[in-house]
Amino acid sequence: MTAATKGRKSQARKTQSGLYAEPMDSSAPGERTVLDLPEALLNDDLAPLFWRPERMDQPTIAWLGHTPFAHWLIGAQHPRVLVELGTHAGVSYSAFCSAVLKGKTGTRCFAVDTWRGDEQAGIYSEAIFEDFKRFHDERYAEFSELLRCTFDEASTQFADSSIDLLHIDGLHTYEAVRHDFEQWFSKLSDRAIVLFHDTNERQADFGVWKLWEELRGKYPSFEFPHSHGLGVLLVGKNPAEAIAQLCQLDSADEAIVQRRMELFGDRWRVEAAKTLEIQRLSRTLPTDVSALNAELAAARKQIRAGMQALEKANTNLVARDEDIAALEHKVQERDQQTALLNREIELIHSSRIWRYGSFLRRLASFPNAATLYAGRTIALRALHHLEGLPLGKRVTEWTITGDDPQFELLWRGSQPLPPGHYRLSAYVPAEAEALTDARLYVDSGRGYNEIERIDLRFRSNGKGLAASTFPLSVAASKLRFDPSDRSTQITIGRIRLRRLARVEYYACLIARILARHVKSPGSLVRSAARGVKLLRQSGLRGFAATLRSAEARGALGSVTYEGWIALNDTPTEQDVADLSQRLAQLEKKPLISVLMPVYNTPERLLREAIESVRAQIYENWELCIADDCSTEPHVRRVLNEYAKRDPRIKVVLRDKNGHISRASNSALEIVTGEWVAMLDHDDILRPHALAEIVLEVDRHPDAELIYSDEDKIDLEGRRYDPCFKPDFSRELFRSQNYLNHLTAHRAENIRAAGGWRPGFEGSQDYDLNLRVIERIAPERIRHIPKVLYHWRAVEGSTALDGSQKNYAYMAGLRALDEHVERMGIPARAEEAPGIPCYRLRFFVPEPQPLVSLIVPTRDKVELLRRCVESIREKTTYRNYEILVVDNGSVEEETLAYFSELKEAKNVRVLRYDKPFNYSAINNFAVGKAKGSIIGLVNNDIEVISPDWLTEMVSWAVQPDVGCVGAKLYYGNDTIQHGGVIVGLGGVANHSHKHFPRHHPGYFCRLKVLQNLSAVTAACLLIRKSLFKEVGGLNEVDLTVAFNDVDLCLKVQEAGYSNVWTPYAELYHLESVSRGVEDAPEKMARFNSEIAYMQRRWKKIIERDPFYSPNLTKAREDFSLG
- The string of pLDDT tens digits covering residues 777-818 is 999 999 999 999 999 876 555 544 444 447 788 999 999 999
- Cα 531 to Cα 514, 546, 843, distances in angstroms: 12, 9, 40
Of the listed ranges 274-283, 720-729, 966-975, the one predicted with least confidence: 274-283
- Domain of residue 621 covers 583-801
The more confident residue out of 412 and 547 is: 412
Confidence band, pLDDT 50/70/90 cuts, at residue 979: very high
* DSSP single-letter state for residue 226: S
Beta bridge partners of 989: 981
The CATH number of whichever domain residue 785 belongs to comes to 3.90.550.10
Q: What is the largest CA-CA distance in the chain?
A: 131
Domain identity same for 971 and 1050: yes
- SS3 state at 639: helix
pLDDT at position 280? 67
pLDDT reported for residue 524: 60
Question: What confidence tens digit (pLDDT) does each residue in 923-935 have?
Answer: 999 999 999 999 9
In whole angstroms, what is the distance from residue 1113 CA to residue 682 CA? 35
**Region at 413 (left for phi over 0; alpha for psi -120 to 50; beta for the rest):** left
pLDDT of residue 488: 66
Rounded to whole angstroms, the Cα distance separating 653 from 1108 reads 41
pLDDT in tens, 429-467: 755 455 666 788 888 877 786 557 787 877 776 677 888
Measured CA distances, 951 to 38, 761, 848, 975 (Å): 58, 32, 12, 19
Residue 2 lies in a domain: no
Q: Provide the domain count of the chain.
A: 4
Q: Place 560 in a pLDDT band, splitting at 50, 70 and 90.
A: confident
- What is the pLDDT, as a whole number, of residue 1009? 97
Say what percent of the chain tops pLDDT 70.
80
Digit-coded pLDDT (tens) for 309-320: 666 666 666 666
Average per-residue pLDDT in the chain? Answer: 84
The confidence band for 903, taking pLDDT boundaries of 50, 70 and 90, is: confident
**Looking at the domain assignment, is residue 288 inside a domain?**
no
For residues 947 and 876, the answer to whether their CB atoms sit within 8 Å is yes
Residue 1055: C-alpha distances to residues 848, 933, 1049 (Å)? 25, 19, 10
Of 248, 273, 298, the last residue of a domain is 273
Asked if residue 771 and residue 874 are part of one domain, the reply reads no
**695 pLDDT above the threshold of 50:** yes
Provide the pLDDT for residue 269.
78
- The residue length of the chain stands at 1121
Does residue 528 lie within any of the structural domains?
Answer: no
pLDDT 10s digits, 572-623: 889 899 999 999 999 999 999 999 999 999 999 999 999 999 999 999 999 9
The better pLDDT of the pair 529, 1110 is held by 1110
Higher per-residue pLDDT: 470 or 75: 75
Contact 19, 242 (CB under 8 A): yes
Q: What is the pLDDT of residue 1084?
A: 83
More confident of the two residues 501 and 208: 208
* Domain containing residue 99: CATH number: 3.40.50.150
Residue 484 neighbours by CB under 8 Å, 6+ apart: 433, 434, 435, 436, 437, 438
Do residue 429 and residue 492 come from a single domain? yes
Q: Do 895 and 1031 have their domain in common?
A: yes
Q: Are residues 887 and 797 in the same domain?
A: no
Point out the domain boundary residue: 500, 517, 550: 500
Same domain, 603 and 489: no
641 assigned to some structural domain: yes
**Same-domain check for residues 1095 and 982:** yes
966 in any annotated domain:
yes
pLDDT score for 22: 34
DSSP state at residue 535: H
- 916 and 1015 share one domain: yes
Q: How far apart are CA 754 and CA 777, in angstroms?
A: 19
Q: What is the pLDDT of residue 558?
A: 43
Asked if pLDDT for residue 772 goes beyond 80, the answer is yes
Most confident segment among 247-256, 805-814, 904-913:
904-913
Q: Helix or strand or coil: residue 549?
A: helix
Instruction: Report the amino acid identity of residue 137.
Output: D
User: In this structure, is residue 770 part of a structural domain?
Assistant: yes
Residue 338 — pLDDT band, cuts 50, 70, 90? Answer: low
Residue 237 and residue 119 in one domain: yes
Could you tell me if 924 and 1070 lie in one domain?
yes
- Does 912 reside within a domain? yes
Q: Pick the residue with more confidence: 174 or 282?
A: 174
pLDDT: which is higher, 57 or 210:
210
**Given its phi and psi angles, is residue 506 left (phi above 0), alpha (psi -120 to 50 degrees) or beta?**
alpha
In angstroms, rounded to a whole number, what is the distance separating the alpha carbons of residues 221 and 213? Answer: 10
Q: Model confidence over 513-546: pLDDT tens digits?
A: 665 554 455 556 666 776 777 677 767 777 776 6
Window from 104-113, 432-441, 1003-1012 with minimum mean pLDDT: 432-441
Which burial class, exposed, middle or buried, applies to 821 when counting CB atoms under 10 A from its CB (0-12, 13-18, 19+)?
exposed
Are 857 and 954 contained in the same domain? yes
Whether the per-residue pLDDT at 628 is higher than 90: the answer is: yes
pLDDT-derived band at 259 (thresholds 50, 70, 90) equals confident
Distance CA 887, CA 357 (A): 77
Q: Three-state secondary structure along 97-124?
A: HHHHHHHCCCCEEEEECCCCEECCCEEC
pLDDT at 23: 33
Q: Please provide residue 515's backbone torsions phi and psi, each rounded to the nearest 5 degrees.
A: -65, -35
Q: Could you tell me the pLDDT band of residue 177, with boundaries at 50, 70 and 90?
A: very high
**Would you say residue 1046 lies in a domain?**
yes
Verify that 474 and 598 share a domain, yes or no: no
* 28 band by pLDDT with thresholds 50, 70 and 90: very low
State the CATH number of the domain containing residue 411.
Answer: 2.60.120.260
Q: Which of 456, 482, 500 is the last residue of a domain?
A: 500
Q: Summarize pLDDT for 197-238 with one digit per residue, the tens.
A: 999 887 767 899 999 999 998 999 999 999 889 999 999 999
Mean pLDDT over 973-1001 rounds to: 89
Does residue 952 carry a pLDDT above 80? yes
Give Cα separations from 838 to 557, 569, 1012 (angstroms).
31, 32, 18
